[in-house]
Chain A
Amino acid sequence: MSKAAVAKPLPSIVIAPVLPWLSTFAVIAVWQIASSLGLLQEQILPGPDAVLRAAWTSAQDGTLTDAVVASVLRALVGSLAGGVLAIVIGVASGFSRLGEFIVDKPIQMARAIPFTALVPLFILWFGIGEEPKILLVSWAVFVPLYLSTFSGIRNVDRRLVEVARVYKLSSIEISWRVLLHGALPSVLGGLRYALGLGLAVLIVAESVNAKNGIGALLSSARQYAQTDVVLLCISLYALLGLLTDMLVRVLELRLLRWRSAYVAQ
């Protein structure tokens, strides 16, 4: 380390990842200070320290862990089922006219239905077990992901498909190597949105009717006016949303390397 290097400003590599978080930290800090000074009414808006304390106590008696595990499992299973189905059906109907006629039209119509309207129907149909919640998440993930897969496939350069046909790739290979890869930017954009929607729908479904899960914790906290637990649940959702976003970002970095290659050179 030379002395000249010490005098230099912090390299951007160190600052860049921190920057986007600064405003969030600032808000939390102001919130904490206001709360400590007694400016906020504890019943209306407890401070961040109270939320952390609520997290600690509910983690101690196991309710927090149970709720998070239940919700994350539902989100995972539902997203996976809805996601895989959306991509397979999206590729099939993007690839063939017949597929488009059979599935695209009904899905285009179904997308207009608000998800909350389906909650009571699914509960009537599937009872109060895991099925209605997982199905709701699947559906919420399926619709936007299907739509973005379909439009992504339709926008893939047909001239690339022609080359693949001359070189005798099978339909499966063309679907995978040409169409799905070409549609990936659109698919991943759709995935980001779909996972967020799946999480939101899960919260609604859990707070209407569930024995466990973050939504159930939220709804019981509301009943007993535990504002700190309500805030804890909201923070958990924010955290889960952040995690799914990071997951999609990692996927994008890996799968769309070919797009950034030119910039990186």
Chain B
Amino acid sequence: MYPVDIKGIQRSYSGSEVLKHIDLKIARGEFVALLGRSGSGKSTLLRILAGLDRPDGGTTSISANVAIVFQDARLLPWENVARNVAMGLTEQDAKERVRNALAEVGLSHRIDAWPVTLSGGEAQRAALARALVREPDLLLLDEPFGALDALTRIAMHDLVLELFERHRPAVFMVTHDVDEAIKLADRILVLDNGHIHAEFTVERSRDGSLAAASTSIRADLLRALGVAHSSGRSRTGHETESHHLRLAAQNGAI
């Protein structure tokens, strides 16, 4: 049983087909990132996985135990952090679990705080605790670090990786940041024109650095996204290729 197993998903909004035919399987312990231009339908796909939107066609089989983190933390402003994290928990030991989850994201000292008093990074960590406290089979992330400053974002990347290693849910993360996708994901999909237009597996060595086979992945991704260079769509020619890599190196600095 895959936490995500969807076939032939279609979704249109008032006549325009946002998703034309999407097949996707995600196993437990697999971290999948979805890249795509703004408006390409990434959030639409994520919302279908979350059960917040219905596809017009196709079949879906999605785990019932889903958690979600959006770009904005979406905490209830009138409930303190602990009550927010406990949302929907019915277990006897909910209090204990909330405390543990907040400790895991390093927010124990803010357990009684009102959401308006949290910084952006703290609010996002509370949202992450709310997601993890229920040990989800599937964790959905919709540009979860998009609103954070660069330093906080790096800290959050490390936190998410650490939590992912510990809990091993299936993760589906929408992002428009190529470097973020490479840093976090095992598999990167590129959504374009309603299809999964390209797919990359990120091979890592033991120490977590990119394996030799994956060193060109950044350039490949930029090309798949059509953003590298005006002649970037060309698939031939070593010159273009090395130009991409140089460009990637310039933009780089993970």
Contact = CB atoms under 8 A, between A and B. Distances in A.
B38 interface: no
B58 interface: no
A149 to B, nearest CB: 16
A50 B130 CA distance: 65
B164 interface: no
A145 B88 CA distance: 30
Given A162-B52, A265-B117, A258 B68 contact: no
B70 A160 contact: no
A192 B119 CA distance: 34
Given A163-B74, A168-B88, A258 B51 contact: no
Given A259-B116, A262-B117, A265-B117, A163 B77 contact: no
A265 to B, nearest CB: 6
Contacts of B130: 167
A167 B76 contact: no
Given A163-B68, A165-B51, A167-B87, A181 B117 contact: no
B78 A169 contact: no
A215 B202 CA distance: 81
A126 B76 CA distance: 45
A262 B154 CA distance: 27
B87 A169 contact: yes
Contacts of B79: 177, 181, 258
A261 interface: yes
Contact of B66 (A160, A164, A166, A257): A166
Nearest to B90: A168
Interface in A156-176: 159-160, 162-169
Contact of B70 (A159, A178, A181): A159
Closest CB pairs A-B (n = 10): A167-B88, A261-B114, A262-B116, A258-B78, A181-B78, A163-B74, A258-B114, A166-B68, A167-B87, A168-B88
Interface of A: 159-160, 162-169, 177-178, 181-182, 184, 256-259, 261-262, 265
Interface of B: 50-52, 66-68, 70, 72, 74, 76-79, 87-88, 114-117, 130, 134
5 contacts: A162-B74, A164-B87, A166-B68, A181-B79, A258-B77
